[in-house]
């Protein structure tokens, strides 16, 4: 029986009942309503109920939902719930579908728990999930090779980089997820390109190193951003000038700065920033000088440094930093030399290494997993597309979003994105960004969306809905 015929039969049954049965129904409905036993509304001789549910991930406009026998429902941009206008009697069947997908911007929405029957209560269990990339407000300045830091307030600090004219930027701005807009904040004391930015336990952000102007050597300059004041102030300088280094907040609250390249070449040196003193002090050297490696804080408190680039080219070697000893020791090598890879700590404690660049094969599609309990890397599923300098973001679902980067030919920026599923060890398509990007940033917001910003000297930004 179709939904429309089911509704017609239900109405016909009510009309054919004797007058005293209808009167009894009205009295029963009135009693139930007065006692709080129904969330429906009385319509003629029967109590009726709304059909609706929740919406997640919807950013744009154009979503239309349908249910047989009811007018289509056009959903407003950013809505988190919906309810069809026509209330229906108990026993009515429903089958909610997507009649039109959002087009401004484009997303794909899927209905779950969309079929069933009304049973003496409003239907609220239907869920509509919208996934994909959708445009959000543009940055105030086009920039690439900048940093993006999620603040304790939920805002995102975008700092430094270079603009479309290759000018090295001292400016910074804040993204507000609640409004989808960027607004300028205080400027840094100097330009920073290929620097690091680390959120400290006190809520301040440490910006360190990089290059301050074209044609110059890296700097040792460091500064702090205070979100409560919207200003940057100088803090102690690093012991060594460096760019393409790593910065890792340790379990003890100190920040480990490791490697990079300085005025004298590739660096094996490392140092610690102490927020309580505002100073840097040297710690043990890495076993290998390297720039552009990955740095991952492990659950044990150790830091995994992997890959990167040295005088001999991309590296397969990896090492561990032990904060309790202040020393680095070698651990198992990766199967492939990699510069510009990504590293993501998975919920199961393994570290996912993805893509990057190798001299022999260009942009890499391969990926591998580091097991801290064994100190070894093993291969896992490969990307559909080789890519270097993509972004990798751990989603709340435990999957990892890999977005953009350069393809196997190197210079071509990608719009495509992929998801790694740790439970399967495989990658799957995740749609395409509106804009091809390399040297961009990706930040997981508190609402579960991912902010993709800038890259290749662009000002545009977009949101990924998992």
What is this structure's pTM?
0.82
Q: Which residue has the tokens 């022999």?
A: 360
Beta bridge partners of 223: 207, 234
Q: Kindly list the distances between the CA atom of residue 439 and the CA atoms of 11, 252, 458, in Å, as whole numbers in the listed order.
A: 62, 31, 10
Task: Provide Rg for the chain, Cα atoms.
Answer: 28
pLDDT of residue 45: 60
Q: Which residue has the tokens 């939920």?
A: 154
Average pLDDT rounded to a whole number, residues 76-99: 94
Lowest mean pLDDT among 46-55, 220-229, 239-248, 345-354: 46-55
Beta bridge partners of 148: 158
Sheet holding 400-403, edge to edge: 391-394, 400-403, 414-421, 426-437
pLDDT surpasses 60 at 2: no
β-bridge pairing 123-136 and 51-56: parallel
Distance CA 203, CA 128 (A): 36
228: nearest Cα among 255, 249, 191, 202: 202
pLDDT averaged over the chain?
90
Other beta carbons less than 10 A from residue 222's beta carbon: 26
pLDDT of residue 40: 59
Model confidence at 44, in pLDDT bands (50, 70, 90)?
low
pLDDT surpasses 50 at 56: yes
Average pLDDT rounded to a whole number, residues 279-288: 98
154-190 pLDDT, tens digit each? 999 999 999 988 899 999 999 999 999 999 999 999 9
> For residues 209 and 221, is the Cβ–Cβ distance under 8 A?
yes
> For residues 11 and 44, is the Cβ–Cβ distance under 8 A?
no
pLDDT of residue 81: 96
Q: What percentage of the chain reaches a pLDDT higher than 90?
A: 79
pLDDT of residue 104: 72
Q: Which residue has the tokens 């239309």?
A: 64
pLDDT surpasses 50 at 6: no
292-301 pLDDT, tens digit each? 999 999 999 9
Lowest mean pLDDT among 14-23, 275-284, 297-306: 14-23
117-149 pLDDT, tens digit each? 999 999 999 999 888 898 899 999 999 999 999
Model confidence at 12, in pLDDT bands (50, 70, 90)?
very low
427-451 pLDDT, tens digit each? 999 988 989 999 999 999 998 999 9
pLDDT of residue 106: 74
pLDDT of residue 108: 86
Query: Burial level of 252, CB count in 10 A (0-12/13-18/19+)?
Result: exposed
Name the residue with higher pLDDT: 251 or 362. 251
Distance CA 121, CA 386 (A): 52
460 Cβ contact list (under 8 Å, min separation 6): 135, 138, 139, 434, 435, 454
Q: What percentage of the chain reaches a pLDDT higher than 70?
A: 89
Backbone angles phi, psi at 251, to 5 degrees: -65, -25
């Amino acid at each position: 029986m179709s939904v429309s015929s089911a509704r017609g039969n239900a109405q016909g049954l009510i009309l054919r009942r004797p007058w005293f049965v209808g009167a009894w129904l009205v009295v029963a409905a009135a009693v139930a309503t007065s006692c709080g036993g129904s969330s429906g509304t009385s319509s003629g001789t029967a109590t009726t109920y709304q059909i609706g549910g929740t919406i997640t991930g919807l950013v744009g406009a154009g979503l239309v939902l349908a249910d047989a026998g009811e007018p289509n429902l056009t959903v407003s941009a950013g809505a988190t719930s919906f309810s069809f206008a026509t209330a229906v009697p108990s026993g009515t069947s429903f089958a909610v579908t997507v009649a039109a997908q959002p087009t401004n911007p484009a997303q794909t929405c899927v209905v779950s728990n969309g079929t069933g029957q009304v049973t003496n209560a409003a239907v609220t269990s239907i869920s509509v999930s919208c996934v994909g990339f959708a445009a959000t407000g543009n940055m105030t300045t086009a920039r690439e090779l900048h940093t993006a830091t999620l603040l304790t307030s939920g805002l995102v600090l975008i700092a430094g980089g270079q603009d479309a004219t290759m000018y090295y930027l001292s400016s910074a701005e804040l993204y507000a997820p609640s409004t989808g807009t960027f607004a300028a904040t205080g400027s840094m004391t100097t330009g920073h390109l290929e620097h690091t930015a680390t959120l400290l336990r006190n809520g301040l952000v440490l910006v360190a190193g990089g290059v301050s102007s074209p044609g110059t050597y890296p700097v040792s300059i460091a500064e702090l951003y205070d979100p409560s004041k919207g200003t940057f102030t100088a803090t102690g300088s690093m012991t060594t000038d460096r760019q393409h280094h790593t910065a890792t907040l340790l379990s003890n609250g100190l920040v480990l700065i490791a490697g990079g390249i300085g005025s004298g070449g590739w660096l094996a040196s490392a140092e610690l920033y102490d927020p309580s003193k505002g100073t840097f002090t040297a710690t043990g050297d890495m076993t290998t000088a390297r720039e552009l490696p990955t740095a991952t804080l492990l659950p044990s408190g150790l830091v995994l440094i992997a890959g990167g680039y040295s005088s001999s080219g991309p590296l397969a070697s990896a090492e561990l930093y032990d904060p309790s000893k202040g020393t680095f020791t070698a651990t198992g090598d990766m199967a492939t030399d990699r510069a510009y890879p990504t590293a993501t700590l998975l919920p199961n404690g393994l570290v996912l290494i993805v893509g990057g660049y190798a001299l022999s094969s260009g942009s890499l599609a391969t990926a591998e997993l580091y097991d801290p309990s064994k100190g070894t890397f093993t291969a896992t599923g490969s990307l559909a597309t080789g890519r270097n300098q993509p972004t990798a973001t751990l989603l709340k679902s435990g999957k990892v979003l890999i977005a953009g980067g350069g393809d196997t030919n190197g210079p071509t920026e990608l719009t495509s994105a992929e998801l790694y599923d740790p439970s399967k060890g495989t990658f799957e398509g995740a749609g395409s960004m509106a804009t091809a990007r390399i040297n961009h940033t990706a930040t997981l917001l508190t609402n579960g969306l991912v902010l993709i910003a800038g890259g290749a000297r662009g000002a545009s930004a977009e949101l990924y809905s998992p």
